[in-house]
Chains A and B, each alone.
Chain A
Amino acid sequence: MFNDNTIKMNPFVYNSPVRGKDFFNREQAVEKILKETVRGKSQGSIWITGERQIGKTSLLRHVQSMNDEFNEKVTPYGTKKSLDVAFVFANVQGCENEDEFYNTLWQGLKDFFDFKLKKGANGYKNFINAMTEVYIRRKYFTVFLIDEFDAFIETISYKEIHTATNFLAKLSSLLQEIDEIDEGSKTFSCVFTANHDIKELLTANGIDNRGSGLIVEALNLKWFTQTQVSELVKKYMKDSDFQFTESEIELCFKSAQGYPYFTQKMLSLMYDAKKIITNDKQYRNTVKVEFGEMFKETIEDWGGDNMPMRTLKKLIEMVQKMDLGRQFTVVVMKTLEIYLRAKMGP
């Protein structure tokens, strides 16, 4: 029995990016980002792919939060400069054109540096002015953490394919050097997040990779292993009145397969249920049913249209391995197969 006077908040996070001490299990990804963008010999860019709600935004926000403690200098490749580093977050999902894209980056820089530059009518010029201020006058190398980049590319290519082709060619040139600022050195890198990998994105939208194209290192965010789920639980429930058993963690892993969002959701359901249901069999059945319903609703909510094929196939595999009863499997598989058939075409 639990004491109602000491009700503690459910520690599991699933509806917003994970922040601060709750961020967990992505040490290798963070190290890779730092290595590629600022610690390596040359400053490259990274393209992070992963299923919806796998933790891409949480990862970017975590890197952004490192601004206060990151005191390493970077020497842009080919120069002798020694610059500080700024990790600047920008979500470009809502941008409808290039102007808005560059203005979003400008705003990110303004939020970080609080400079007094006026925002003009031309987004690109605003961006260049800001980068001049940041790189030349303040001596910073910027790492833009660009969230939902594929959504933006899809938006602009939907209007006109050449717009997306031209935009990517321009961005690729800017990543090498900004002509307006300096002769021959990189001034920023990018970490992009997307549901699609870059090739999938370009192919699906009929976009050309003009010239040398946008060259990025690919990073595919993985699902958690059972050991990682176990460590996550230990960390999150450090101050909890009760703990999950190994068998309960196994239940969570069998259901959610380590998919971060579904893992957090399952743990959250288990946490709330365990506080009120004392009978173990009833508790397990309740969480399985609730999780199954939640999963089904989530899949329907996500829809099949914008789901990359890779994600769809992973979800199908996931459902086949889940131990949530035949009825659940049949219903959810039906939905996923409809999505799959729509994608495969006639």
Chain B
Amino acid sequence: MNRNQIPDNPFIAGQPARGSDFFGREDDLLLIEQFIMQDEKDSFFIKGQRRSGKTSFLKRSQDKFKSEKNLILYFNLQDKISHTSVEIAQEIQERIIRYTDKINISFNKDFKNFLKNLKNKVNRKVILLFDEFDVMCKNSKNDEHSEHDFVNFILDIIIYISENKIPVKLIFAAGSNYESEISKHCKKIEDLSIKVVLTPFEKGTVDKLLETSRNLPFRENAKETINELTSGNPFFTQALAYSVYDFAQSHKAQSITPKMVKNRLNSAVRSFGSGVAVIWNDLENTDKIILYSLANIIEKDQKSDLNVLKEYLTKNFMHIDDKFVNESFLRLEKSGFINQEKSKINFKTEFFRKWIVLDINKREIRDIHTSLKKNIF
């Protein structure tokens, strides 16, 4: 079977962006480059909301800065929660050994001794990238005993590296909807590190990303529409652009219009809902109820102010204490999900709002509501 050569969809949704598909973050990449070259700090902490591009950023850093002088190894911790810190340390050693096979460095039960040997024998910096680090920290915000023991282990290693001038650097990526959701030892690691928070793309970056579609260009107002609907969230932007491109290509369009973008929103939300669900799942239950209510008020074209919201909550759930609504509001505003302009409450990202309307049903929200303790509402 041979197919005609038609341009591939240039957008990628749900996969880390590689090579020239990686956009923006120039300042943050410069910070990584400087971090790798300097000797004062041994750890770097990347924070960002779910689907903000942390993995893409780590992969880009790995591709850009690996060299004969820098051995950069990537570790995904999301499936390591059932492993002990000893097992994880063993895996790290095995990988380092695999990539330094011409040098006689062998496995050592004591990770610190292994690092000491590394210093003596290997003439390269070893940079370890730990993705999904939040999974290790997640169990409890304040109880240091319930986080995975790998966190304490790696904190100890950071201190050892620093004291013994071991040429190893650690970069952590942690995703969370909320800044405050981090355990005590994770906070210590963060405090020891150079920090970066990955924010949504600026308009210029979104435009550049969309301009990669040369065979099927986005009109200027189509780019604006994408910006409005996704608020620069990298995943939403790629998902919507991918869907629209597919549609335009199959209809043999010459260019992509704002109308196409708006018409494909629902389809993009449905196609890539699994990625959006990750954001939703990480929300506090009270915030889910507030966002669900707001999303539906806006869907019905109603005025989305605080009074209308409270009325909706009372009608559909039960009377709520202003204190909890306000706390939720502050949290959601700080995390960038909503903003308030005078009395009006806006949903920051239409793509996310649409997903809530299409994918979350009332029953699910009622179940969430019932599971909350009485004194929350």
Tell me if chain B binds chain A.
Answer: yes
Chain A count of residues within 8 A CB distance of the other chain:
45
A166 CA to B77 CA, complexed, in Å: 11
Is A239 engaged at the interface, CB distance under 8 Å to the other chain? Answer: no
Q: Mark A34-51, 1 if CB is under 8 A from B, else 0.
A: 010001111110010000
A289 CA to B81 CA, complexed, in Å: 57
Is A208 engaged at the interface, CB distance under 8 Å to the other chain? Answer: yes
User: Nearest chain-A residue to B281 (Cβ)?
Assistant: A209
Contacts of A70 in B (CB 8 A): 1
Q: Mark B5-39, 1 if CB is under 8 A from A, else 0.
A: 00011111111101101000000000000000000
Contact B79 A214 (CB under 8 A): no
Q: How far is the CB of B340 from chain A (nearest CB, A)?
A: 29
Contacts of A299 in B (CB 8 A): none
Contact A169 B81 (CB under 8 A): yes
A166 CA to B82 CA, complexed, in Å: 7
Q: Is the interface of A mostly helix, strand, loop or mixed?
A: loop
Contact B281 A208 (CB under 8 A): yes
Known contacts A66-B1, A69-B1, A77-B12; decide if A215 and B275 are in contact (CB<8 Å).
yes
Contact B274 A169 (CB under 8 A): no
Contact A172 B78 (CB under 8 A): yes
Is B219 engaged at the interface, CB distance under 8 Å to the other chain? Answer: no
Q: How far is the CB of B274 from chain A (nearest CB, A)?
A: 5
Contact B79 A170 (CB under 8 A): yes
CB within 8 Å of A: which of B61-112?
62-63, 73-79, 81-82, 91, 95, 99
Is A4 engaged at the interface, CB distance under 8 Å to the other chain? Answer: no
Is A338 engaged at the interface, CB distance under 8 Å to the other chain? Answer: no
A197 CA to B273 CA, complexed, in Å: 10
CB within 8 Å of A: which of B225-277?
246, 270-275, 277
Q: Which residue from B8, B14, B364 sits with its C-beta under 8 Å from A215?
A: B14
Contact B9 A35 (CB under 8 A): yes
Contacts of B19 in A (CB 8 A): 78
Q: How far is the CB of A153 from chain B (nearest CB, A)?
A: 14
The chain B residues found within 8 Å of chain A, CB to CB, are 1-3, 8-16, 18-19, 21, 50-51, 55, 59, 62-63, 73-79, 81-82, 91, 95, 99, 132, 134-135, 175, 246, 270-275, 277-278, 281, 359, 363-364
Given contacts A35-B9, A72-B3, A344-B363, 19 further A-B contacts (CB under 8 A): A39-B3, A44-B12, A44-B15, A66-B1, A69-B1, A77-B18, A78-B18, A172-B79, A183-B99, A184-B63, A184-B74, A186-B15, A199-B274, A210-B132, A211-B78, A212-B50, A212-B78, A212-B278, A218-B272
